[in-house]
């Protein structure tokens, strides 16, 4: 797997951390033995006989389920033989014992089927050097501190409740963060020529059959019955967007038409897959659908990528691009798919951007470019996507009148930049460790009077900053100033203004930052102007 390996074992002994340590010791001994790792192949019946003789019912099942034309390979290492497609290293001596570690053990149903037996899954990792292993473990430790589930509670951003697994609750600070993010989204999209719509959350079965989702996505959809008719809660915004376009005639002069929607969607996820804000059942998708002529396709793709570049750089996020091609379960002709895949390739190549191919992972209606963001811990998250679609306009019989006076079928781009508002909040919470840039921080300034005599000036400072649009709070509690400062720092507040008698007399403020920096006393106007400029430019600080 991406960061190591796992092995599923059916065993009556529970693998405690102490037992994992003993297994690690044995692994190190095996590494020192420098045992050769030998591959051999067997015909199906001999392979089955070998695994039955070793009392390996799971391996027998795997072999029986393999296609007839698949080569059945094994690897031998000392007295141990295992069924595996490989490849492997040539010797256990290639591994340095001090650069491997077993991480943990969890339960895992055999072949992911909850009706089958629960096995024990041991996770581990291995590196070429001990220093690389330590660096990886340090990153994991840092990730624990930045876990959005932990920070979500500590910073009052969001919560979950067993009344709705997978349905996050946003708290006041979280709503401030979410709304600030949405305000930014709207500002950017207005500059890039988008209009905004809102479509219903529940629509009838006939629409989902027309779009193809009922046949290709029904297992992930929540359904209901209204007036004895089947309805579905939308898992995506696209079909509603089709109806909006369809509602009035269009000319080539109207195109490209860029239509954005911050639509709440619901998708059924298995309970075991739910994870904080990263995998939920209800989220706000920052969708947009662009309707265009065939001649406009390449320019519109480039325009979307430029928007992505602006947004991601605002958060200090870099990305890699992946082109996902035609899956087995698809609609439309192979020729349409190949043409659209080539357009995507040409557009990003002409922009000087590289990409990798993700074979067969396109949406069922078209190829796509996925943008994988890299955070401050070096982990990647798939957020943005650009999907090229010739199929839904066909299914919904969308039209525009061309320059020749005839009716033509538009091409569509489906795209999201943040992917999901909720998931993106999880990404940036981890990326910034909860210490959001000032423009995003739920509370930007905390004002703290030291004495009762300085309370009036502290209140006036807060009022002036609030009037200028700053999110500010006063801490008038009867606590020591050191305690107040430490608490504000733990809440990741960017600026703390300490107000004593001296500041009250001089009409100034003493400024401290959450990182512990003491900026000293400055005039209120000077601090306000610097702060507003930092917010206006969305500085990363």
Q: Which of 267, 281, 330, 514 is catalytic?
A: 267
213, 219 Cβ separation under 8 angstroms: no
Q: How far apart are CA 372 and CA 387, in angstroms?
A: 15
Residue 282 annotated in active site: no
Question: Catalytic annotation on 287?
Answer: yes
Instruction: Please name which of 314, 375, 312 lies closest in space to residue 539, comparing C-alpha atoms.
Output: 314
Structure tokens at 271: 């309970």
Rounded Cα gap, residues 442 and 178, in angstroms: 9
Q: What are phi and psi of 528, to 5 degrees?
A: -60, -45
Q: Which residue has the tokens 């029986």?
A: 64
C-alpha gyration radius of the chain: 29
Asked about 368 being catalytic, the answer comes back as yes
Cα dihedral angle (239, 245, 248, 254), rounded to 10 degrees? -170
265 near 282, Cβ under 8 Å? yes
CA angle in degrees (0–180, nearest 5) for 457-459-464: 95
Q: Which of 266, 414, 446, 491 is catalytic?
A: 414
DSSP code string of 471-504: -EEE---SS-HHHHHHHHHHTT-SEEEEE-HHHH
CA 262 to CA 283: how far, in whole Å? Answer: 10
**Annotated catalytic residue within 213, 234, 266, 289:** 289
* Active-site annotation holder among 266, 281, 368, 484: 368
Reduced to 3 states, what is the DSSP secondary structure of residue 352? coil
Q: Is 289 a catalytic residue?
A: yes
Answer whether 42's CB lies under 8 Å from 50's CB. yes
Assess whether 238 carries a catalytic annotation: yes
Q: Report residue 49: phi and psi, to 5°.
A: -60, -40
Among 189, 234, 287, 296, the one annotated catalytic: 287
Q: Which two tokens stand for residue 72?
A: 């059945």
Q: Give the residue from 473, 376, 389, 464 showing the smallest Cα distance to 427.
A: 376
CA-angle at 153, arms to 147 and 158, nearest 5°: 95
Q: How far apart are the first and last CA of the chain?
A: 36
Catalytic position from the list 59, 189, 285, 474: 285
Measured distance CA(207)–CA(239) in Å, rounded: 7
Q: In what order do the strands lie in the sheet with 229-233?
A: 202-204, 229-233, 222-226
Q: How many other C-beta atoms lie within 10 A of the C-beta of residue 94? A: 12
Question: Rounded to an integer, what distance in angstroms lies between the CA atom of residue 301 and that of residue 318?
Answer: 19
Return the percent helix, strand and coil in the chain, to nearest 5. Answer: 40, 25, 35
| CB 216 within 8 Å of CB 332 | no
Active-site residue set: 238, 267, 285, 287, 289, 368, 414
């Amino acid at each position: 797997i991406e960061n190591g390996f796992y092995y599923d074992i059916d065993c009556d002994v529970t693998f405690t951390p102490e037992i994992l340590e003993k297994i690690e010791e044995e692994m190190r001994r095996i590494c020192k033995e420098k045992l050769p790792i030998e591959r051999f192949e067997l015909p199906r019946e001999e392979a089955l006989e070998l695994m039955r003789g070793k009392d390996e019912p799971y391996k027998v099942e795997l072999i029986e389920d393999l296609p007839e034309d698949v080569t059945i390979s094994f690897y031998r290492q000392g007295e141990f033989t295992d069924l595996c497609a490989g490849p492997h290293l040539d010797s256990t001596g290639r591994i340095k014992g001090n650069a491997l570690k077993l991480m943990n053990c969890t339960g895992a149903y055999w072949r992911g089927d909850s009706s089958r037996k629960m096995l024990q899954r041991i996770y581990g990792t291995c590196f070429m050097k001990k220093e690389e292993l330590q660096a990886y473990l340090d990153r994991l430790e840092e990730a624990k501190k930045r876990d959005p589930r932990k920070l979500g509670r500590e910073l009052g951003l969001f919560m979950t409740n067993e009344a709705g697994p997978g349905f996050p609750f946003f708290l006041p600070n979280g709503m401030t963060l979410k709304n600030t993010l949405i305000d930014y989204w709207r500002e950017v999209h207005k500059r890039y020529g988008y209009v905004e719509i809102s479509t219903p959350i529940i629509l009838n079965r006939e629409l989902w059959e027309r779009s193809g989702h009922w046949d290709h996505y029904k297992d992930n959809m929540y359904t209901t019955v209204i007036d004895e008719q089947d309805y579905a809660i939308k898992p995506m915004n696209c079909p509603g967007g089709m109806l909006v376009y369809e509602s009035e005639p269009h000319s080539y002069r109207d195109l490209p038409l860029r239509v954005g929607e911050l639509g709440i969607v619901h998708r059924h996820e298995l309970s075991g897959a739910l994870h904080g804000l990263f995998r939920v059942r209800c989220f706000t998708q920052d969708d947009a659908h662009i309707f265009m002529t065939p001649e406009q396709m390449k320019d519109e793709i480039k325009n979307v990528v430029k928007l992505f570049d602006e947004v991601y750089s605002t958060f200090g996020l870099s990305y890699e691009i992946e082109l996902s091609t035609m899956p087995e379960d698809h609609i439309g002709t192979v020729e349409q798919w190949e043409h659209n895949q080539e357009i995507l390739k040409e557009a990003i190549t002409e922009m000087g951007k590289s990409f990798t191919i993700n074979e067969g992972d396109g949406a069922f209606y078209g190829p796509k470019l996925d943008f994988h963001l890299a955070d401050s811990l070096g982990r990647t998250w798939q957020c943005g996507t650009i999907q090229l679609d010739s199929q839904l306009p066909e299914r919904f019989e969308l039209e525009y009148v061309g320059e020749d006076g005839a009716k033509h079928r538009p091409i569509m781009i489906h795209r999201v930049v943040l992917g999901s508002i909720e998931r993106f909040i999880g990404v940036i919470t981890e990326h910034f460790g909860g210490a959001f840039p000032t423009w995003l921080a739920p509370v930007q300034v905390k004002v703290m009077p030291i004495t009762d005599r300085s309370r009036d000036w502290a209140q006036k400072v807060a009022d002036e900053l609030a009037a200028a649009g700053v999110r500010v709070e006063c801490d008038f509690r009867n606590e020591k100033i050191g305690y107040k400062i430490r608490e504000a720092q733990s809440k990741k507040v960017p600026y703390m203004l300490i107000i004593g008698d001296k500041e009250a007399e001089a009409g100034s403020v003493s400024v401290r930052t959450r990182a512990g920096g003491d900026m000293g006393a400055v005039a209120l106007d000077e601090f306000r102007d610097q702060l507003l400029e930092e917010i206006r430019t969305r500085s990363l600080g």
